[in-house]
Amino acid sequence: MLMPLTDLLNRWRTSPNTARSITAWQVDPPRPGQYAPFPPDLHPRLVTILQAQGISRLYTHQAETWQAVQAGEHPVIVTGTASGKTLAYNLPVLHHLLDRPGTRALYLFPTKALAQDQADTLTGLLAAANLPPQTIATYDGDTPQSRRPAIRQNVRLLITNPDMLHTGILPHHTRWADFFQHLRFVVIDEMHVYRGIFGAHVANVLRRLKRIAAFYGAAPQFILTSATIANPDELAARLVELPVTVISRDAAPRGRRDFLIYNPPVVRPELGLRRSALSEAVRLAGELARHAGQTLVFSRTRRGAEMLVSYLRTATADFLPAEAIRGYRSGYLPRHRREIEAGLRRGQVRLAAATSALELGVDIGGMAAVVMVGFPGTLAAARQQAGRAGRREGEAVAVMVASANPLDQFLARHPEYFFDRPPEQALINPDNLLILWMHLRCALFELPFHRGDSFGRLPPETVAELLDALSQTGEAHPTGSRWCWMADKYPAEDVSLRNASPERVVLQTVADDQPTIIGEVDRESAAWMVHPQAIYLHEGQTYRVDSLDLDTQVASLQPVDTDYFTEPKTETTVQLVELHRQTGAPGGKKFLGDVLVVRRVVGYKKFRWFTHEHLGDGQVDLPPTELPTTGYWLALAPELVDELRAQGEWSNDPIDYGPNWPAQRRQARARDGYVCQMCGAPERGQAHHVHHKIPFRQFSSYREANRLSNLITLCPTCHRRAEQAVRMRSGLAGVAFVLGHLAPLFLMCDRGDIAVHADAASPLAEGRPAVVVYDMAPGGIGFADRLFDLHVELMHRSLEVVSHCPCPDGCPACVGPAGEDGIGGKRPALALLQKLARESV
């Protein structure tokens, strides 16, 4: 039965089991709304409509937006989830549409789903305002060709997304001449999404938009909205390249909201292992759904969301029917998503497991509770997800369940960081050379450039330099006074704003003898998500992948009932393309340059559901993917390696090899003829060593580890060399692990924006050990450059994290769990970091 949320929270607060794991508990007290009367000049028809909806006044932030727009400014509305941002921009736009029949407005939403959502609301508003239905239209990839000419002719409020603007509208601007000529407003909703690579693309699309508007004599006013980020003014100003007015005083009323950080209890102190965040989240979410009401669980990954659906269904089987628990993530078909959203709004869906796909303003109403499985990567995202919990009246709760990764553990120990620190800055670099280059081609296709023209804030000299380079390719033709596009190409077609390849792989299965498409994945992810034999989850159903055809872009799946799931094994190499900078650093040398990252999925591991017991491995044969990007790397000096070796820092504590070890050891020596298999030396009075080819700790059972096929006889000298190589690898891997988790905090980027790779014999460092951090954006977006400069600080913080971690031999919260990356990575990693964090070179 439902009990007030307060009662459940009180029980958690007093239950010793739960209370001990709650490391922070913050209460946002209820807040009354602050209101302002309707502006006196607001169009009377809008006043009537609002009053009919029971709205008799505005929140003050809505009134401030109105004033900013009327003063000709470019407002950025940065208020919380469900604070009426949409009305804030709709009001001035609708007012002008009613007031001046010529006015045109462009609404940009980051996704088609969001656009659809808003189109429905707006259509109702416009109808109520007696504007003809053709006034508003959505124009995106789903708009039928037959409807497009009529839309171009009639539309006054155009709803689209940056991708469509980029490929479908700007390159055909003459068909929209009338629209651009009268373009008065550009609304950019959810602006914070336009950061990183996507943001750099969108900033350039907006440069092109402004250039075309100017051609038709228009200079539209921009209205932007954003979730809470540290630098909305900066991001907005870089996106639209105009001075902006930030409106951030959220005046909407709010019920009380509790925010908890929950750190799962340690279950195996010797391994530093905590109970899994996933299972703890399932337990908490189950209780919340049972007692408090509608609950939303956020997972960081698509796979996590699927696992949650299946675990949650099991956990709540006694009081919820399976269909009351749904998943929500990218890859579901649009109609499927609409149905789940409606279920959430109407309350039929009691529990949903979602990825950040649900973070964006999709309207699902306020939830009673939100549970985050792990820190979503940025404070801004965490606040936005938490913002889903909350209703105008009544209490709500958000719980972040810390996962084992170092950043989560850091935040669980330092909640002040979580609550008090300003959220991340959203960084974009519209002048990323590759991105700029692509959009300059598109811009030239759209209109010739005259000598002396700038492009956004790029000065004419730079534009001229790029256009001259473009003339070398033959795509631009200089005529003396200007440059014209001269190629049989449509450049926008080659440029995907999302950067992930525009290609998708469809997931096909057979149901009732009919091929059915259950979803899709982008081509880049296909190799590791749906490689042959992979177990793929879709709304709680498990499928096994029979085949993956990357040419036809079809993965064939079969519904199966398995007791295991799979994890891909990948192999990465990072090759040097061109070195840009190098400087001595403590313990070695740091480098910055262009690199080529080649990744290949080579196989997969099988794990048992729930227990995560390793059941075996499989092989996969797939072509590699290549990423040209920029990287920053640290190469260890040979002296450092020698020094560490001399100090014995690469040595390791003895391990208990299990009861069958003496027997297995004897058999291995006998099999190998008592001869070192490396140098051929026979035993002389003293038994040779027996070495585990795959380190002992990588196995969950000693029997598996001590199989004869995993053993090899080595003389003490060769054995030491082999062990050192393993330890070197594990030490480096440990450093890489902690770097990969901490660097995003310094870069204020998403974790997926960068990647880390450790190599004991790196081609980047003439075969010496190196750790490389690279941008995931082709061509790089500046992250590696920042890290190159931040190197010493980064080493200090990494050392701090590892040395303060209480675990004995490495855990997921510092250098990675023992046994996963070689033998006990903590000692060697710590020794390494101590050298690398020295003050002087």
Partner 1 sequence: MPNLSDRLKALGVRLGARDLPPPRPKAENPYAVTRILPGKFLPTDYGPVFAVEKWFGADYRHGHQPAAFRPAPPLLSTWLDASRPACTAAETVAYLDTETTGLSGGTGTYAFMVGVAFYRETGLQTVQLFMTSPDEEPALLAALSSLLQGTDTLVTFNGKEFDVPLLQTRYRLNRMESPLDSPVQLDLLPLARRLWRDRLPERSLGYLEQAILGATRTEEDVPGRLIPYLYFSYLRSGDARPLRGVFYHNRMDLLAMAGLLNHVADLLESPLDGRVAHPLDRLALARLCESAGRVALAEQLYRLSLEAGLPEESYQDALARLSALLKRQGRLAQAIPLWEEAAQAGQIYACVELAKYYEHTARDLTQALRWTEAGLSLLTTPSRRARWHAELRHRQKRLHRRLGR
- Residues making contact with partner 1 (CB under 8 A): 171-175, 177, 433-434, 437, 444-448, 465-466, 469, 472-474, 477, 479-482, 484-491, 493, 577-578, 580, 594, 628, 778-779
Q: Which is nearer to partner 1, 488 or 653 (CB)?
A: 488
Residue 449 CB, shortest distance to partner 1, in Å, is 12
Q: Which is nearer to partner 1, 47 or 486 (CB)?
A: 486
Cα–Cα nearest to 574, from 641, 626, 500: 626
Q: Which is nearer to partner 1, 512 or 561 (CB)?
A: 512
What is the helix (H) or strand (E) element at residue 25, kind and residue range? strand 22-28
Q: In angstroms, rounded to a whole number, what is the distance separating the alpha carbons of residues 524 and 34?
A: 48
Q: Which is nearer to partner 1, 472 or 686 (CB)?
A: 472
Q: In angstroms, rounded to a whole number, what is the distance separating the alpha carbons of residues 161 and 76?
A: 19
Q: Which is nearer to partner 1, 322 or 596 (CB)?
A: 596
Q: Which is nearer to partner 1, 272 or 779 (CB)?
A: 779
**b vs e for 461-482, b when ≥16 Cβ sit within 10 Å of the residue's Cβ?**
eebbebbeebeeeebbebeeeb
Q: In angstroms, rounded to a whole number, what is the distance separating the alpha carbons of residues 680 and 344?
A: 69
**b vs e for 541-568, b when ≥16 Cβ sit within 10 Å of the residue's Cβ?**
bbbbbeebeeeeebbbbeeeeeebbbbb
Residue 133 CB, shortest distance to partner 1, in Å, is 27
Cα–Cα nearest to 212, from 161, 166, 244: 166
Q: Is 426 helix (H, G, I), strand (E, B) or coil?
A: coil
Q: Which is nearer to partner 1, 185 or 788 (CB)?
A: 788
Q: Which is nearer to partner 1, 437 or 657 (CB)?
A: 437
Q: Which is nearer to partner 1, 116 or 630 (CB)?
A: 630
Residue 535 CB, shortest distance to partner 1, in Å, is 32
Say if strands 482-485 and 476-478 run parallel, antiparallel, or are unpaired: antiparallel
Q: Which is nearer to partner 1, 457 or 580 (CB)?
A: 580
Residue 600 CB, shortest distance to partner 1, in Å, is 20
Q: In angstroms, rounded to a whole number, what is the distance separating the alpha carbons of residues 94 and 121?
A: 13
Cα angle for residues 12, 16, 406 (degrees, 5° grid) = 80
Beta-carbon neighbour count of residue 216 at 10 Å? 16
Q: In angstroms, rounded to a whole number, what is the distance separating the alpha carbons of residues 501 and 816?
A: 31
Q: In angstroms, rounded to a whole number, what is the distance separating the alpha carbons of residues 389 and 81?
A: 9
Q: In angstroms, rounded to a whole number, what is the distance separating the alpha carbons of residues 466 and 453?
A: 12
CA 158 to chain centre: 29
Residue 490 CB, shortest distance to partner 1, in Å, is 4
Residue 484 CB, shortest distance to partner 1, in Å, is 4
Q: Which is nearer to partner 1, 254 or 439 (CB)?
A: 439
* Lookup: tokens for 655: 């391990």
Residue 590 CB, shortest distance to partner 1, in Å, is 18
**DSSP one-letter string for 227-277:** -S-S-HHHHHHHHH-S--EEE------B--EEEEEE-PPEEEGGGTEEPPH
* Lookup: tokens for 629: 């990007």
Residue 172 CB, shortest distance to partner 1, in Å, is 6
Residue 215 CB, shortest distance to partner 1, in Å, is 8
Q: Which is nearer to partner 1, 73 or 446 (CB)?
A: 446
Q: In angstroms, rounded to a whole number, what is the distance separating the alpha carbons of residues 399 and 286?
A: 13
Cα–Cα nearest to 80, from 369, 423, 417: 423
Q: In angstroms, rounded to a whole number, what is the distance separating the alpha carbons of residues 508 and 549?
A: 11
Residue 200 CB, shortest distance to partner 1, in Å, is 14
Residue 444 CB, shortest distance to partner 1, in Å, is 7
Residue 630 CB, shortest distance to partner 1, in Å, is 9
Residue 761 CB, shortest distance to partner 1, in Å, is 25
Residue 219 CB, shortest distance to partner 1, in Å, is 18
Q: Which is nearer to partner 1, 92 or 171 (CB)?
A: 171
In contact, 601 and 620? CB cutoff 8 Å = yes
Cα angle for residues 801, 804, 805 (degrees, 5° grid) = 85
Q: Which is nearer to partner 1, 483 or 737 (CB)?
A: 483
